[in-house]
Amino acid sequence: MKQLLTAILVLLLSASVTLAQTPAHTKAKSKTEKAATGTSGSGPVKKDGTPDKRFKANKTAATQGPKKKDGTPDMRYKANKGTAKKKS
């Protein structure tokens, strides 16, 4: 009887060890994946993936004026008034 209880105990302990959860490992991004996801346009980018504003190719998006929360141009600023369509 003692051997039977010992065998059951060993079986239960081994089952609990094999069914224990393993920690989740997150996959770290490699340098090539970071570079591929960081490029947002045709111009050069900085090490962190943001566009480098020193180059002309990246300055074109900055010529537009400020926008409102909904994404439309804010007409209180001079930069946006010149690009607005005039009604006839």
DSSP string, 4-72: HHHHHHHHHHHHHHHTSPPPPPPPPPPHHHHHHHH--SSS-B-TTS-B-TTSHHHHGGGGS--B-TTSS
Provide the sign of the torsion angle of the four alpha carbons 60, 66, 70, 74, taken in this order: negative
Distance CA 76, CA 16 (A): 68
What predicted TM-score, i.e. pTM, was given to this entire model? 0.26
Cα 41 from chain centroid?
16
CA angle 47, 52, 54 (to 5 degrees): 135
* Contact assessment for residue 39 and residue 49, using Cβ atoms and an 8 Å cutoff: yes
Q: Render pLDDT for 30-87 as a digit per residue (tens, 0 to 9).
A: 555 544 444 455 789 999 988 888 888 887 655 578 889 998 888 998 888 876 666 5
Q: What is the pLDDT of residue 70?
A: 92
Q: Render pLDDT for 8-37 as a digit per residue (tens, 0 to 9).
A: 999 998 888 887 777 667 666 655 554 444
